[in-house]
């Protein structure tokens, strides 16, 4: 199994566990004289089994990411950390640029004027550069995920 396939399976397991959690909550109590739609105890056992499978799969994914070294010497784990940092940085810069816009509307001349404390155009340009870097990094990660076999 390729790493990318394992990541798809992980997402499926996470969705399945969340669905089971909701079904358990919906069937954990029932009114006197009625029966629940589903057996909450059986759903709980199924959810526990799915969590065990997820734990094993995530351990294998993490081991694969740590062991996979790209031609430039970086590991996939390092790329994932870089991607997380780029996402945070992009959100920060975009938020700052958004905050500088608008707010200069005045109904009367006697109202105070507001000014941007940060250079909006520079922030937008920086956000665009970060977005490009993020896309390129994500493409590298995705390509690697399809090229690497999942560790045992």
Q: Which of 75, 91, 76, 82 shows the shortest CA–CA distance to 7?
A: 76
**Rounded to 5 degrees, what angle do the CA atoms 61, 15, 18 make?**
115
Q: Among 21, 49, 67, where does a domain finish? A: 67
One domain for residues 142 and 94: yes
What is the C-alpha to C-alpha distance for residues 86 and 132, in angstroms, rounded to an integer?
10
One domain for residues 91 and 137: yes
Q: Among 67, 97, 112, where does a domain finish? A: 67
Helices (H), the chain: 3-27, 40-67, 76-100, 120-147
* pLDDT digits 0-9 by tens, 105-114: 667 777 777 8
Q: Whole-structure pTM over 0.75, yes or no?
A: yes
Residue 69, classed as helix, strand or coil, is strand
Q: Which residue has the tokens 């665009």?
A: 128
* pLDDT digits 0-9 by tens, 15-64: 999 999 999 999 999 899 999 899 999 999 999 999 999 999 999 999 99
One domain for residues 14 and 41: yes
Structural domain boundaries, residue 8: 1-67
One domain for residues 139 and 88: yes
Residue 124 lies in a domain: yes
For residue 109, give every residue at least 6 positions away whose Cβ sits within 8 Å of its Cβ, in sequence order, or none: none
One domain for residues 79 and 60: no
- The total number of structural domains in the chain stands at 2
Residue 152 lies in a domain: no
């Amino acid at each position: 199994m390729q790493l990318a396939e394992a990541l798809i399976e992980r997402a499926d397991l996470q969705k399945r566990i969340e669905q089971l959690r909701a079904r358990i909550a919906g069937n954990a109590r029932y009114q006197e004289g009625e029966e629940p739609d589903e057996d909450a105890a059986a759903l709980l056992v199924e959810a526990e089994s799915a969590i065990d499978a997820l734990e094993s799969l995530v351990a294998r994914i993490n081991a694969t990411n740590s062991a996979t070294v790209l031609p430039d010497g970086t590991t996939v784990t390092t790329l994932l950390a870089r991607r997380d940092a780029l996402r945070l940085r992009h959100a920060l810069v975009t938020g700052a640029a958004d905050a500088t816009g608008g707010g200069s509307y005045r109904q009367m001349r006697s109202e105070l004027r507001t000014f941007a404390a940060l250079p909006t155009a520079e922030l937008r340009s920086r956000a665009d550069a970060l977005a490009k870097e993020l896309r390129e990094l994500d493409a590298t990660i995705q390509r690697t995920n399809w090229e690497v076999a999942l560790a045992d």
